[in-house]
Amino acid sequence: MKQQDEQPPGDAEATAPAVPAAEAPLPRSAAASAIVLRADQDEFDARQVAALALISPGLQSAPRAQLAVFFHYCVRSGLDPFARQIYMIGRKNRGEDREDNPVNWTIQTGIDGFRTIAHRAAERTGERISYEETVYYDAEGTAHEVWLAPSFPAAVKVTVLRGTSRFPFIARWGEFAPTYWDAKTSQYVVAKMWRTMPAHMLRKCAEAGSLRMAAPQDLSGMYVEEEMAQADAEVVAGAAEDAAQRLRAAAGLDNDGEDNGSETPEGQGPQGEEKPAPQRAAKSSKPKPEAEADGPPAARERSTPRKRASSAKPRAAS
């Protein structure tokens, strides 16, 4: 009887730790999120599009077909668009007919997303991704293992190895470095990030191109941010501004502006010399003395002929 009474407490003690009721609650699953991509989805819903618009402004105005393509890339690559691993950006030409031009939508990701996709693609076929040493080139074509010069590298070569295949890619500075028009210096300058880390930024472009060659089925149609930096630069805006300045110069507007600008300090001199207000006061004060001075001469001139006439008559009479 005692054993029967002791067994239930013992069983209860043995089974109690196996059921963590209130001690360790289950973590919240990502599937419970309102914007997570579900397995039964075939396109983004309205809430997901609104969330994506916070990451990529203007995405709400993208055509439904373009959003479907973006959804396909997200599912195929396995990247999370809400974690900023992959996103879609719309660009429009800044020419004269900018408003009439359609928006060009580009699917982009970071270099880490490119690496993840390429490694997954290689693992599916039992292969692995590896790299050869990066090669940096100066303007004379001399190769360097490490870029230590303060100037920009002329080109960077990255070679990706997948299995027994090599995929070299060379990125040239003139093809990828973004420049924009600086109104202060009146010239085109390189973007700040590319001035700060020129070798690192150009290497990303070369690596992305090499990874795209190694995994074309998974990375075709996708680009990294650094590859599209030139498209985001303000070169077109600078060219338009330059053209506008030339048109203004041809129309003589710039000369007028320069004259006005130069007349501002010079105009103060003539204004100071002319002094409109003092001149008015001088004119109001001068008329009185001039009237007094002019009065007697007029009277004298009138009286003089009379005297001469009177003096002439007696002479004629005599």
Q: What is the pLDDT of residues 171-207, one digit of tens each?
A: 999 999 998 888 888 888 898 899 999 999 999 999 9
Distance (Å, whole) CA 57 – CA 313: 109
pLDDT, averaged across the chain: 75
Buried residues in 247-284 as b, exposed as e (16+ CB within 10 A): eeeeeeeeeeeeeeeeeeeeeeeeeeeeeeeeeeeeee
Could you tell me the sign of the dihedral formed by the alpha carbons of 200, 201, 207, 211, in that order?
Answer: positive
CB burial of residue 114 (10 Å; 0-12, 13-18, 19+): buried
Contact call for residues 74 and 40 (beta carbons, < 8 A): no
Residue with tokens 């004629």: 316
CB burial of residue 168 (10 Å; 0-12, 13-18, 19+): middle
Q: What is the mean pLDDT of residues 85-108?
A: 75
Q: Which of 188-197, 206-215, 225-234 ranks highest by mean pLDDT?
A: 206-215
SS3 of the chain: helix, strand, coil, percent, to 5? 55, 15, 30
Helices (H) and strands (E) in the chain, counts: 13, 10
Q: Which of 29, 74, 77, 27 minimizes the C-alpha distance to 51?
A: 74
Distance (Å, whole) CA 72 – CA 60: 17
Q: Which of 111, 312, 75, 93 minimizes the C-alpha distance to 208?
A: 111
On the question of pLDDT at 133 being above 70, the answer is: yes
Confidence (pLDDT) at 154: 98
Better pLDDT: 35 or 238 = 35
Better pLDDT: 110 or 2 = 110
Q: Which of 297, 262, 149, 74 minimizes the C-alpha distance to 173?
A: 149
Better pLDDT: 29 or 141 = 141
Q: Rg of the chain's alpha carbons, rounded to an integer?
A: 43
Q: Which of 25-34, 271-280, 292-301 ranks highest by mean pLDDT?
A: 25-34
On the question of pLDDT at 284 being above 60, the answer is: no
CA distances, 305 to each of 220, 295, 318 (Å): 113, 16, 20
Amino acid at 114: F
Distance (Å, whole) CA 94 – CA 3: 89
